[in-house]
Chains A and B, each alone.
Chain A
């Protein structure tokens, strides 16, 4: 069953994301974990990409505009066969091909260099526009952060996508309700993303961002072209899937203490058990 397959993919991505960050010893736990289910659905079903035809111009494109979610993307690309497991554990080490923010010139499978927030969504819009001009029948997926949407550039990109009717662009907003310094509502209230994106000319839905089924269904619906760009607001939890991290107030960038490590190690062990027989990479 597909949903079982995607749910397993999510567990795999979460497992390797945690192991990768454990190897480094610190990093962007919260915002990496909240996009795991979305990555599982995009790469597990919709993107139609693997290491073998990564240069096919008709491929689907994925841009992680919230670049600090890099560790989750790297775990996903490893699972898709872009590099071996030992590469995964070089995250942020000197001379690595996996810098904390994705770099198209360093990491196989990364389409666009992101990290300076707001720029990835513009680039993804450019990719979708370029593909539309070329008459290609593919989709561009872009995950933007809820905090990232503070950046005015995102809203410039949305205006462009809407004006040019980029129905081949599917934007997923990781609404985990927290940014670096705290709750988005306290720092700069985002108001209602569905209302805002709708007002900008997108077809917009809000779904449970921890449910692979809900995300999959939303993407399927988004592909019913109606001449509008598509937005899916993912109702997520920062640190999603690891209860201990979910409950930690300050989980954007963590330098775990002893107690934290105990909980993280336990989460890794539990995932390992659940994935017994699957982790045969």
Chain B
């Protein structure tokens, strides 16, 4: 089965703005919080459409986290957006203590995932956000790959309460899903018997392309969109690895602490199998366009296929 990769009709930020608008209309307790990145995230129009349910804090992410905690004490349900590194690296103690440790609720959306921060460069490029969030007890961590999936995760976080971190790119991903998709589990997008490719976010498309490359060499790869980073969907992962016995992970993130770590930890404890991790290794971000940066950090279909081929032919 070959996936035809087309751009989604909707940018991730449009899906974000539309979904939270829809939820806010249904529930007057929803409050949308931005720290001066509204225009970057298409939420600017919500200011007028949602009086009393939208607040632009100004450039103060630390204050935004603790303030959201206070709002939640009074019954408000915050959706908080900023670039990923400002939510996690910059305001980590605030989200850890004021929200998570205090057992309060907020849905946090960290945008401009990894290399997609492009020309904002190394200061703005986070390869650590999923790792930091995985360390927060009871926090849910996801990386969205598609607008329909993002909408589902936003609503899920809002309904469940607690701290939910959703990592996403801002602009157009490939279209992977239709409205009817059941997102309760990680998605097996392609079935195969020789190796399992586990990817999240923008790397799902690369994994699908890698599977096509591998097929030409006679290697049948199974591809999983593992958007459930924590808790990891270990059931879907283990079912696949029991069949293939080999794994390559692919993430637009540091290989330490992110998807590759989560998958390795799960396998080490439940079903030891060889793993190769495609991702960023001991490097900081830099300016550049996404394709250039993907090449630089090895976040490509070719690199995934190479790692998988080496593993299968070992």
Cα–Cα, bound, A159→B63 (Å): 10
Cα–Cα, bound, A267→B37 (Å): 55
B256 surroundings in chain A (CB, below 8 A): none
Q: Are A134 and B75 in contact (CB under 8 A)?
A: yes
CB of A179 closer than 8 Å to a CB of B: no
The number of residues on chain A lying at the interface, defined by a beta carbon within 8 Å of a beta carbon of chain B, is 33
A126 surroundings in chain B (CB, below 8 A): 66-74
Q: Are A125 and B60 in contact (CB under 8 A)?
A: no
Answer whether A127 and B62 are a contact pair too, CB < 8 Å, given A119-B97, A122-B98.
no
Cα–Cα, bound, A124→B101 (Å): 17
Cα–Cα, bound, A57→B76 (Å): 12
CB of B18 closer than 8 Å to a CB of A: no
User: A97-128: contact bitstring with B at CB < 8 Å (1 yes, 0 no)?
Assistant: 00000011100000111011011101111111
Q: How many A-B residue pairs have CB under 8 A?
A: 104
CB of B181 closer than 8 Å to a CB of A: no
Q: Are A160 and B94 in contact (CB under 8 A)?
A: no
Cα–Cα, bound, A2→B76 (Å): 37
CB of B52 closer than 8 Å to a CB of A: yes
Q: Are A57 and B75 in contact (CB under 8 A)?
A: yes
Top 3 nearest A-B pairs (CB, nearest first) are A126-B70, A130-B74, A122-B66
Q: Are A119 and B94 in contact (CB under 8 A)?
A: yes
B40 surroundings in chain A (CB, below 8 A): none
Cα–Cα, bound, A196→B259 (Å): 47
Smallest CB–CB gap between B133 and chain A, Å? 18
Candidates B57, B62, B76; contact of A130 at CB < 8 Å = B76
Candidates A105, A115, A153, A159; contact of B62 at CB < 8 Å = A153
User: B40-77: contact bitstring with A at CB < 8 Å (1 yes, 0 no)?
Assistant: 00000000000010010110101101111111111110
Chain B CB count within 10 A is highest, among A57, A115, A119, A125, for A119
Q: Are A153 and B73 in contact (CB under 8 A)?
A: no
Cα–Cα, bound, A163→B63 (Å): 14
Answer whether A124 and B97 are a contact pair too, CB < 8 Å, given A57-B75, A104-B102, A133-B52.
no
Answer whether A131 and B60 are a contact pair too, CB < 8 Å, given A113-B98, A119-B66.
no
B73 surroundings in chain A (CB, below 8 A): 61, 104, 111-112, 123, 126-127, 130
Q: Are A116 and B74 in contact (CB under 8 A)?
A: no
- 21 A–B contact pairs at CB < 8 A? A104-B103, A112-B69, A112-B102, A113-B101, A119-B94, A119-B97, A122-B66, A123-B98, A125-B67, A126-B72, A126-B74, A127-B71, A129-B70, A130-B74, A152-B62, A153-B60, A156-B58, A156-B60, A156-B62, A159-B60, A163-B58
Chain A residue nearest in CB terms to B97 = A116
CB of A268 closer than 8 Å to a CB of B: no
